[in-house]
Chain A
């Protein structure tokens, strides 16, 4: 029995037993290599679920849909390790109750999709530990290093050019599980701190604010990068911030459901390298 079959059965069982009211998973997309989210509410529908190496989106973002969990009923969701980390952060930030989330965990290695044992976020603690010890993505680091080697002026020009493409569609925000504010700061116009115009200042303001709001919270699922219709390499900005918080504060986002937010906590031994 393949993993897809196994998880379809599991989803059917969860639904028919009433253990969950909804299964959020992947279904066929508009092209053979695309998957789209499907929301399965009865055991009869589980055949719509697809699970293979194209299932890359971080579905945890759907958990924060307004009102979804307010009836106290459980929801099952297909998640890769990055998604499990997102659930941990959302739990730590009181946006979801981890007891209400049943995780159908899986991993993708090349073409292979393998199941991850465990059903609750807390079951994945050993996985989180191994993820932490393997650190941030070396591929992203290689890409980031290329930018690090540029002079400040060159780097500024690079990002100016990248951000100039930004059309302020906020797809990066919509896809991100961390962007759960009911009113985003960019929508505040009294006063309008963030310029929505497509000039250099406005472009930088939005993208830098987004990066700061993700500092110590991004799990590198790559959702924003894939969602961006003009291909701004947002992953590199997020990676840079993650590296910073890991190097300075030893903070690996989404390690556990009781992890404190890195920018809101203070320890006696925090380095003070930013004080001149």
Chain B
């Protein structure tokens, strides 16, 4: 005989303000099988959980329904409470009367009726719940970090320093990411390369880190603790093992006028190249599409130049399959280009550049060796206009969010310019100055007060070229007057956007993303570095626009999560797994194909002499994630999911 306890939570006012919890308790207490019911302000709190435990013990409850928030929020909390009171944790159900009821309704009577229905349906379900035991699976204590920018490097170093193996995968020929492109960094103005390159070297030399550059993740299979990742190591055409990085081949390569991505097109590179002089590893790659030999079958000058015979035109892409237990995604961001802006010349004007271009101009290792020279004629600009929020916070450009870093780097740019060109004049059009962060507001004040950064609050409506000058027309909203500035160069603080292939990549590895393509965390506030896919974590700007301190902090947080996972040899997994009824399985193998986790195999049923009777589908509980895809696919209804059995779901539906 079922003895179900129902606990109705007020969730402060979240539920109680829209649902008549008293009525819910009285109504449900009369439902067959309900032996105990009560209400409380916060059942998730310590006294709340104690009430649940006490009721279980005193009434010998066989099942518990907590009518409260979503199971994603507090299922674990109450399962634990049940277990502590001696009840199997899987005899608990959460009736979601918050997200799916009180939050979305405005009529108290209707909301209360709905809450009663939801709770009743879960009571019917829990009556049919079975005791389940967790499944133990081994953990491969090796991590993969995807993306070798500052976030990826930090995560890899933290995991490796704690004694675990890490594979760091980077698709570019060198690790370093965007940070390697930056000049000085706010708010301390220390040189980006000076603080990053030692980290790059540390990563590549660390005994626990395997760095795979020029490599891309193609496929992720498996589940937390047991992923199999297929990585394509792109052909470099240069032997990693022998190349000393002397650079002779680069010197001699006859194809010299290829716009360099690293220099944002402001400088050139050769067909055999390293993206920048401090590249790690310092081994060049041959750009197959631009190489004369690959195009015409003649040249091979690099091969002739190389004294240690490290050029290999026969190299092929190599597929490597790697076993890892956790994955940190740190794939970074891109900068929106200037071509998006009709009002700013659609990218036609050479001297209208992005903030990242400016970083290269200001960088000592950049194409101008740190001199601020305008791209069109190489002259030193006398007046620079900076436009903040060029794309960000602008629904019309598809970017509703704040890119977060632009206020700070624009102030930095104004400062660097003032330090390099003493008579130079800056005008910064801004909407708001967002300088929340340690030392950030002080930094922008310094730009204004010490380096004469000229801030104008307002937007720019038009930008055009006239007599070699860029005419910037906007409005000063504080004075309420139109302004026109003659500029030599214009820097657009264009939005920070996800990588162009971010969505496709997310689908490939099985994580969620938002409307823009930034990756979703499991919970914005409480689980900010985990994805909804167990065992896959996020670090850096692939999740949302971030500056260096935030990226590094998140990377270390992700590393802590990985190390937490690796602290045990075995992992306890939820026993919510599918099972096949041998007698009714028709062996069509639709489930085998449909299963996203490759958890279903074919199994022979034989008689005692070994003669085959039939072949049926069989679920590997270690691999099954309990998603239920096979259950819904199976035409003969031969697959059932523990914790969500047909009988339970049917009772739940009929309880409505």
Contact = CB atoms under 8 A, between A and B. Distances in A.
Given A93-B590, A182-B636, 10 more contacts: A93-B588, A94-B588, A94-B589, A181-B586, A183-B636, A193-B637, A260-B593, A261-B590, A261-B594, A265-B593
B348 interface: no
A95 B650 contact: no
B527 interface: no
A264 B635 contact: no
Interface of B: 504, 507-508, 583-584, 586-591, 593-594, 596, 615, 633, 635-638, 646-647, 650-651
Nearest to B615: A94
Nearest to B591: A264
Contacts of A191: 646-647, 650-651
Nearest to B585: A182
Given A93-B588, A191-B646, A264 B594 contact: yes
A30 B651 CA distance: 49
19 contacts: A180-B586, A181-B635, A181-B636, A182-B583, A182-B584, A184-B636, A185-B635, A185-B636, A188-B637, A190-B647, A191-B646, A193-B650, A261-B590, A261-B594, A263-B590, A265-B593, A265-B594, A266-B596, A268-B508
Given A94-B587, A185-B636, A185-B637, A193 B646 contact: yes
Interface string A77-114: 00000000000000001110000000000000000000
Contacts of A93: 588-590
Contacts of B646: 190-191, 193
A160 interface: no
Interface secondary structure of A, over-half rule: loop
A185 B631 CA distance: 12
Contacts of A264: 590-591, 593-594, 633
A150 B323 CA distance: 56
Nearest to A261: B590
A120 interface: no
A80 B577 CA distance: 43
A95 B588 contact: yes
Contacts of A182: 583-584, 586, 636
Contact of A263 (B583, B587, B596, B633): B633
A240 interface: no
Given A95-B588, A181-B586, A182-B586, A261 B593 contact: yes
Contacts of A168: none
A41 interface: no
A132 interface: no
Contacts of B650: 191, 193
Contacts of A185: 635-637
Contacts of B587: 94-95
A202 B584 CA distance: 23
Contacts of A265: 593-594
Given A185-B636, A185-B637, A263-B633, A268 B586 contact: no
B60 to A, nearest CB: 28
Q: Which 10 pairs between the two chains have the least Cβ-Cβ distance?
A: A191-B650, A264-B594, A181-B636, A93-B588, A264-B593, A183-B584, A264-B590, A185-B637, A181-B586, A213-B635
A10 B635 CA distance: 38
A123 to B, nearest CB: 24
Nearest to B594: A264
Interface in A166-212: 180-185, 188, 190-191, 193
Interface in A139-185: 180-185
